[in-house]
Structure 1
Amino acid sequence: MASPAQQLPPGWAAEWDANNQRYLYIETATGHTQWEVPAPAGPQAPMDAASQFSAPTHHSKRRQYATGQTQAYYGAPADDNASLMGSNQMQQPSQLFTPGLSGPGQFATQQQQAPTHHEGGTPDYINGPDQYQQPMYGQQDPNALAGQFSQMGLGGSKPFQLYTANLLTSPPDPRDLSLPPPEIRLPPNASLSPSPTANAHCSYQRSTLNAIPTTSSLLSKSKIPLALVLSPYRSLDPGEAPVPVITDTVIARCRRCRTYINPYVQFIDGGNRWRCCMCNMSNEVPQLFDWDQARNQPGDRWSRAELNHGVVEFVAPTEYMVRPPQPAVYVFLIDVSHAAVQSGMVATATRTILENLDRIPDEDSRTKIAIVCFDVSLYFFSLPPPSSPDTPAEPSMLVVSDIEDVFLPKPNDLLLNLGEARNGGALENLLGRINDMFKDNTVIGSALGPALQAGFKLMSPIGGKIMVLSASLPSLGVGALKNREDPKILGTSKESGLLQAASPFYKTFAIECSRAQVSVDMFLFSSAYQDVASLACLPHYTSGQTYYYPAFNAGRSEDAIKFAHEFGEVLAMPIMLEAVMRVRASRGLRMASFHGNFFVRSTDLLAMPAVPQDQGYAIEVQIEETITAPFVVFQTAVLHTTCYGERRIRVVTQALPTTSNLSEIFASVDQIALATLLANKAVERSLTHKLEDARDAVFNKLVEILQTYKGSMTAAGAGASAQLAIGENMKSLPVLVLGLLKNVGIRQSAQIPPDIRAYSQALLTSLPAQLLIPYIYPSFYSLHNMPPEAGTVGPDGVIMPPPLPLTSERLERHGLFLIEDGQNIFLWVGRDAVPQLVMDVFNLPGYDVLRGGKTTLPILENPFSQRVNAIVQKTREMRRGPYYPHLYVVKEDGEAPLRLWALSALVQDRADVLPSYQQFVGSLKEKVNGNGGY
């Protein structure tokens, strides 16, 4: 008689445990694995097990939860699958307080079905407006809740069945990277509000784990680092609702831990007090919390934004100010040496400033501006007020050639109010003339350090932003640097020295800037070595950003357009001024280490003189003591001045459940957040150790995770060693790690110039996850045979083609392909491309006359050209941030360097000494099984 395992459907595999009458594992034809499956009774047992395992198709890639768990979560029958999809808020009643009719401070309770939204009108009272009733649940003592959940995992007494993927038979699917992170399954009624926005969206804050281990030992056992990935000041997508602003200046905060009131607190004592979700402190509700100050009448507590939204912004009262809110200040330091003028940088920069004067934030008419030029001397420009409305003021240039002891040649008229400087066209007149003033400049050399000191002296009493535009290596005065580029040490253990700052001046000066609320942005243009590693220190410690344009030549329209677009976007960007950021967490959790562009002022206070939009940060979290609460809360608060002169606090709140179950920890891993953290840690390690150490650390961390998963989540059966098991939600982690190992920032190579590598590292540590993931795992599309709707406009804008895996196996000789990583776009043209395709896209008669390299696509009068142009345009617009990627045409048999650069984006292929994805997974399997490795 055949064993039950032999009666499974075709293509399935299983191992049958006859002693215990169960399957050690069942693997479907698609590679999904389930471990330790009890056999149903009856003659059809094996087929029943198979049908149970392959139950509804929409669950094929979702975590399955056991009966007790779904009941504990939703209060619904576990077999009612339809009720499991987002119905918990309709199933459970919610406790609501409603302000009494006699003014603020009078409360009643209401117990009713949780509404999907709050509407106006007076609700029904149960026992009159002055009587407080104990809620049915949701507002219980946290210790009682802890006891209730202590024997459960994420709310259920039985562990759920964790789906496992076999990496050897499950090739990466790029579509997985656009999936949302694992669902955050909070206990019933954890939130005061049924609002879907009560928890911060993952684009503002996400955790590497969406279920927090209750003990440090459990976290260590999982080998998954616990960290938050933040982008608290991200830009808004078109049509997206803005962050709610609370203008009544009523800010409720915990007296002990200073947490801001949020959807996860509890109201007690008839609604007159609230219990902090972080430290359990009981606090008084502010008197005006339920008063509508605009209409001067009682307000609806439940419509307050801070109780319904995980991301809010408070307008801060005067006690949040050390001084009156500062105006926005922009000081431009423009290199006017021979190289800068000849490259066209000076003309492009001044024209871009001129064209964007109306976009510079100045709603309160307080913005100030100054322009300082430099080569081996410093050139200041004084703009006196016009003598008459019809006569523009004549700017005067003041030259300071003493760069050893920098001074301001004039106390006034150097830093001017933007509106006043434009009065009579004086500023426009100056910007239009700067390039002509220096067009015949033959001076070679750069006194960047003294220019920075001058800019600092101009603005240090106020603070603001220094924008440096430099086209050569600083060679004179403080901060002078030497060319240390040495091809002989590239690819050796000494290479990491080139990625560290060569002079202490830049870090010391950056910290001085941070104290004075001055931020620095660097725009670098040199065609020769410029020591990006040293200069990037300034933005790194002052919360600025580095932009790099190697071999910039404004004579190429593509170069001029890219720089003008990015510089213009930075000028127009609303920024947070004189900001400080602190992340608070529930008792037992501590912020341990910080990654990103800022200066750590005290143990956990991050100083950010000017926070640009769409900058990312990563913060590692330690578990210091056993967590007994059923869920924990992380809250990021950024106190800042808007560039419109208003002091505000942006508060981002995220609640996550706790668990003592290792399988739930693995099922909750957010692979995007984890890859973002690993990128930050790899760069940090390459600077403190060696590049090789950074690569080894990332690889070994992945091996640790796989070994732990194998040891604790899989059965040690005969088929176990033939697999490389990982959770479905982590299936893309190996290819993301491979992409990181192949990224220019840490890749093993002796051919990468140190400036290119240093700039890549600056991106790896400052890009938000939405930009970072395509930077390490680019997008790859086939255009010649894309679906007919691709490139046309749908309900959500231009429809993109389906992404392809990053392997050259998908390239076809007659095809047209697009590869992009957020920084560059490659159009790959196969050598057998038909003449009609070349004509339709490039307006050329055939492949032979097509030239490779940087280009601008023509927009032609045919549908295919318009669709391809729409996809290129959408590619440039769909990522957050100011970046405007260059477009390169790459011919299959064209220039070798360009072809190899494009192919290096196909990270699943073998390149030089770097393995293909199959080789990489093979080496992982050997290492996990203890037989060697990468």
Structure 2
Amino acid sequence: MADPTQGLPPGWAAEWSAENQRHFYIDQATGHTQWEHPGPAEPVFDAAGPAASGSPPPTTHHTKRRQYAAGQTQAYYGTTEPVMQQPGIPQFPPQMSGGQLFTPGEAAPVQAPVGGSPYYGQQQQQPEYINAPGYAQPVAPHGGLGYSGQPVDQLTNQFQQMGMGGQKQQLYTTNLLTSPPDPREILTGPPEINLPPGATLSQSPFVNAHPSYQRCTVNAFPSSSSLASKAKIPLAVVITPYKSIKEHEEPVPLVSDMVIARCRRCRMYMNPFVSFIDGGSRWRCPMCSLVNEVPQMFDWDQTNNQSLDRWQRAELNHGVVEFVAPAEYVVRPPQPLAYVFLIDVSHTAIQSGMVATATRTIMESLDRLPNQDGRTRVSIIGFDSALYFFSTPPGVEEPRMLVVSDVDDVFLPQPHDLFVNIVEARAVLESLLGRFNDMFKENHDLGSALGAALQAGFKLINNTGGKLIVLSASLPSTGPGALKNREDPKVFGTPKESQLLQAASPFYKTFAIECSKAQVSVDMFLSSPGYQDVATLAALPHYTSGQTFFYPAFNAARSEDAVKFAHEFGEVLAQPIMVETIIRVRASRGVRMSSFHGNFFLRSTDLLAMPTVPNDVSYTIELEVEETISQPYIIIQTGVLHTTCAGERRVRVVTTAIPTTSNLSEIYASVDQVAVATYFANKAVERAVMYKLEDARDLLHNKLVEILQAYKSSMTAAGAGASAQLAISENMKMLPLLILGLLKNVGIRQSAQIPSDLRAYAQVLLTSLPAEMLMPYIHPMFYSLHNMPAECGTIDEQGVIMPTPLPLTTERLERHGLYLIEDGQTIFLFVGRDAVPQLIIDVFDLPNYETLRGGKMTLPLLDNPFSQRVTAIVAKVREMRHGVYYPHLYVVKEDGEPPLRLWALSLLIQDRADVLPSYQQFIGQLKDKVNGNSY
């Protein structure tokens, strides 16, 4: 045998691969590996002349920052940046990382296309990993979104997403050390669901629920618990059963004939994955295989009194469908909707302008409140150290105020006339709301009997159910549920900090459970200028399926504060709500629901009780493989029984079918990194509240290391040995950055400077935001505006065209630039210190950078194209996602106030911040852990 080291260039070594029975070669200086003999050293030439042997290729990163010449006022309009269409799927072919793809029987690797980012400044090395024998044939791993380099039209992509054809997932491996993250990949859909042929009755592209309604962490489900344990990928399903519908979106199909076919044994609802037998008179349940009779009226249109083609039925063609429920689903007659507003009227609330803003918003939203049946009722209770009720007997023009000062033993001052019908008493209600702030403008009471107000509101609606909407501007200080200021900056950043994130009083959880039993939900709008104990008060929405909103240092004198509060409060009031709701998730035999996360009360082992369900709120349910699954695919079905605002009892059914596999590579190739990140956000918050924040950070870090170790040992040639690479599948390439974003999020971050209210509210968002909004919250979006293409900010058939998002690093900042950074909750306009005067004039209507002031602001509407484009982009950021949130806009100067600048730059999570590593450092730490097996 020839000496493998003969003729090697300096610094190269040869090692024997027992698995492949051949030598491979390593550049000891760079860690670069390859199978072929590198041959003798040769000089390398580039445009600048000869380079030393082994030198890296020339980089495209420029360290010198370009500046505008003096007097050049229009330069910021020019650009060569690519443009991305939004909303929807990005119209570009995502680039492959510099990984090699091996298929069985190949002697030489096929080099995947090399993606790159100029700020990393080096070409990618060839990693050593290969695919294990027996892998399926290659297909595009992301649902036809272009990883194979071929654009696919939208309908074809939908069919692939639903799995028409039964192709297997092909695993593409990438090296995280040399593959910079591309923020556009967050916007692509999850890997396709490749169901076996014949799995579905219909050829409709909508047979599986859209991921915005229901998505699983894997789209190829492990067939055994041992395989699931070996893969280390968490199994969970993320559900958003009620998504707000925008103008361009199709509503959920409604089946109004009251024929609901269900399996007699497992109670699964009819869906596109059933099979008809015996001439169509019976159907087999795909979840438990029981044969059921087809309902007698299944093929009859009762509305038009004629025969119906069953193949056109919505439940056989759509993964998300809503049934009008027959009488057996109705426990009691539909109750009128009831809203009780509990308004803090203490001196603090009046002075901040919260009361005036809230009452004005309620008045303006009276026509937007759900009231299809004309029965919606409203009651208003004010509170400081006492309670203020308003009686409106029939025929009176002005309401009468009744004061209850005994807050330790709450009672209603009279049993009737404390509610008004919006339609019948509109004039009286408007009169009360118009004078409400003036009634208390001289109030100097600083107390807050919030607990007593809650008890009084509960007494009003406990017979019918409804919503308690709390508007509080101070810490509850008297009566039941009184709290003390326990904020202690000395414990920030210490193990004791987690105590500040736990409820300080059992009153609120106990009261919340009583509310849940009576079909009462609670929404909290908190706006205290000081400490308000968000961690304790948020227990009310948590257990009653409500929502928490927090406005620190609210001051209505700032128009931006008033606009944000009024917008979000008004949108919550206008939301159609589903009342008296229960949710149950079912899965095929062998799959069990093991844990539940979200805002609800777990009534039994798997029944989620929700008095009302708001739109655009998500819930995460952990799954467990109990026994070996022999079926070719599993079904996960969410059934939501509810009453609409119009008093109609309905059942919303969300169905997803996922193929099963005994192949590790298919599991890894099918991982939905967005769903995995959503799961980890919920687990981290759970760990932080139950134990310590440090435990939550350790959980995130250790679980990620486990995944990388499992992938390395199973999917790469390095196996259990040390490797110069850090391997992961292409579809999980963004997962380490998403985990780093979680580690740097306010809710989890290691810091001794974060007030506990801000941290507690961040944790509320981490556990309730739908994936569409959670992703930017942990992985913000970063755009360059001064040199964006001319199309950006203009409108095409898909809406406002957005710039291409940039990597989250300050290396992309130029001193003359204008940038937008946003996380769905806050928008920053970052202005470089050398921004030309014309840019400042065009955007801010100010003569130069020196006259610009940082902080909250509203952009002026100016008559020039660049201002109109920037304004359109800001507006698009505020409305492009589903949800009620209206982000504040802050202007940040490069040399402006340090706290504001540091806050904005903290969103650039790829950079180092305090004790938190940069992305490259984080990847290096992961590599050391994966190789060292010591954590």
- Equivalenced residues, count: 841
My pick for the range that moved more, 508-517 or 408-417, is 408-417
> Which of residues 89, 92, 99 in structure 2 aligns to 1:33?
99
Change (3 A) 1:21 1:87: farther
Change (3 A) 1:743 1:453: same
1:419 CA drift (Å): 1.2
Alignment RMSD (CA, Å): 3.0
1:90 CA drift (Å): 9.9
Structure 2 Cα separation of the partners of residues 803 and 301 of structure 1: 46
Match of 2:796 in 1: 794
Q: Which structure 1 segments of 5+ residues have no match?
A: 8-12, 74-79, 95-113, 115-137, 139-153, 388-392
Q: How does 1:339-350 map to 2 (within 5 A)?
A: 339-350=348-359
Query: 1:417 aligned to 2:421?
Result: yes
Q: Percent identity?
A: 70
Q: How does 1:9-408 map to 2 (within 5 A)?
A: 31-34=97-100, 50=110, 162-386=171-395, 393-408=397-412
Change (3 A) 1:568 1:83: closer
Query: 1:516 aligned to 2:547?
Result: no
Q: Letter of the 1:638 partner, please give it.
A: V
Change (3 A) 1:246 1:434: same
Counterpart of 1:288 in 2: which secondary structure?
coil
Counterpart of 2:631 in 1: which secondary structure?
coil
Q: CA contact under 8 A between 1:326 and 1:641: conserved in structure 2?
A: no
Q: Deviations over 1:561-581 (max 9, x none)?
A: 000000000000001101000
Match of 1:887 in 2: 889
Change (3 A) 1:316 1:161: closer
Structure 1 Cα separation of the partners of residues 276 and 197 of structure 2: 16
Structure 2 Cα separation of the partners of residues 64 and 421 of structure 1: 73
Structure 2 Cα separation of the partners of residues 833 and 259 of structure 1: 61
Q: How does 1:621-770 map to 2 (within 5 A)?
A: 621-716=623-718, 721-770=723-772
Structure 2 Cα separation of the partners of residues 2 and 816 of structure 1: 61
Match of 1:555 in 2: 557
Q: Letter of the 1:342 partner, please give it.
A: Q
Q: How does 1:465-504 map to 2 (within 5 A)?
A: 465-504=467-506
Q: CA contact under 8 A between 2:181 and 2:807: conserved in structure 1?
A: yes
Q: How does 1:590-609 map to 2 (within 5 A)?
A: 590-609=592-611
Counterpart of 1:929 in 2: which secondary structure?
helix
Structure 2 Cα separation of the partners of residues 87 and 2 of structure 1: 53
Match of 1:120 in 2: none
1:416 CA drift (Å): 2.2
1:34 CA drift (Å): 3.4
Match of 1:899 in 2: 901
Structure 2 Cα separation of the partners of residues 784 and 2 of structure 1: 60
Change (3 A) 1:284 1:804: same
Structure 1 Cα separation of the partners of residues 278 and 704 of structure 2: 50
Change (3 A) 1:183 1:684: same
Change (3 A) 1:15 1:849: farther
Structure 1 Cα separation of the partners of residues 180 and 593 of structure 2: 36
Q: CA contact under 8 A between 2:402 and 2:413: conserved in structure 1?
A: yes
Change (3 A) 1:270 1:69: farther
Structure 1 Cα separation of the partners of residues 104 and 408 of structure 2: 81
Match of 1:133 in 2: none
Q: CA contact under 8 A between 1:266 and 1:275: conserved in structure 2?
A: yes
Q: Deviations over 1:75-126 (max 9, x none)?
A: xxxxx999999879999xx9xxxxxxxxxxxxxxxxxxx9xxxxxxxxxxxx
Change (3 A) 1:472 1:716: same
Q: Deviations over 1:760-811 (max 9, x none)?
A: 0010010000000100010000000011111000111000100001101111
Q: CA contact under 8 A between 2:721 and 2:931: conserved in structure 1?
A: no
Match of 1:103 in 2: none
Q: Letter of the 2:362 partner, please give it.
A: I
1:385 CA drift (Å): 2.4
Change (3 A) 1:875 1:480: same
Change (3 A) 1:509 1:3: farther
Structure 1 Cα separation of the partners of residues 482 and 694 of structure 2: 30
Structure 1 Cα separation of the partners of residues 822 and 110 of structure 2: 42
Change (3 A) 1:161 1:428: closer
Q: Letter of the 2:363 partner, please give it.
A: L
Q: CA contact under 8 A between 1:4 and 1:16: conserved in structure 2?
A: no
Q: Letter of the 1:414 partner, please give it.
A: L
Q: CA contact under 8 A between 2:337 and 2:375: conserved in structure 1?
A: yes
Structure 2 Cα separation of the partners of residues 23 and 372 of structure 1: 80
Runs of 4+ in 1 over 2 A off after TM superposition: 1-7, 13-40, 53-56, 63-71, 80-91, 384-387, 717-720
Structure 1 Cα separation of the partners of residues 693 and 361 of structure 2: 38
Q: Letter of the 1:756 partner, please give it.
A: L
Q: CA contact under 8 A between 2:779 and 2:823: conserved in structure 1?
A: yes
Structure 1 Cα separation of the partners of residues 100 and 294 of structure 2: 50
Q: CA contact under 8 A between 2:132 and 2:715: conserved in structure 1?
A: no
Change (3 A) 1:3 1:507: farther
Structure 2 Cα separation of the partners of residues 753 and 635 of structure 1: 40
Q: Letter of the 1:408 partner, please give it.
A: L
1:270 CA drift (Å): 1.1
Change (3 A) 1:691 1:87: closer
Q: CA contact under 8 A between 2:19 and 2:717: conserved in structure 1?
A: no
1:295 CA drift (Å): 1.4
Change (3 A) 1:794 1:882: same
Counterpart of 2:297 in 1: which secondary structure?
helix
Match of 1:771 in 2: 773
Q: CA contact under 8 A between 2:98 and 2:114: conserved in structure 1?
A: no
Match of 1:128 in 2: none
Structure 2 Cα separation of the partners of residues 23 and 643 of structure 1: 71
1:366 CA drift (Å): 1.3
Match of 2:10 in 1: none
TM-score (norm 2): 0.86
Q: Deviations over 1:494-529 (max 9, x none)?
A: 000000000000000000000000000000010110
Structure 2 Cα separation of the partners of residues 908 and 558 of structure 1: 30
Structure 2 Cα separation of the partners of residues 473 and 290 of structure 1: 60
Change (3 A) 1:83 1:203: closer
Q: Deviations over 1:17-45 (max 9, x none)?
A: 699588989799974333655665xxxx7
Q: Letter of the 1:325 partner, please give it.
A: P
Change (3 A) 1:590 1:400: same
Q: CA contact under 8 A between 1:26 and 1:37: conserved in structure 2?
A: no
Q: Which structure 2 segments of 5+ residues have no match?
A: 8-12, 25-32, 37-56, 58-95, 116-125, 142-147
Change (3 A) 1:438 1:23: farther
Q: CA contact under 8 A between 2:337 and 2:377: conserved in structure 1?
A: yes
1:50 CA drift (Å): 3.8
Match of 2:871 in 1: 869
Q: CA contact under 8 A between 1:640 and 1:649: conserved in structure 2?
A: yes
Structure 2 Cα separation of the partners of residues 640 and 403 of structure 1: 35
Change (3 A) 1:311 1:903: same
Query: 1:581 aligned to 2:583?
Result: yes
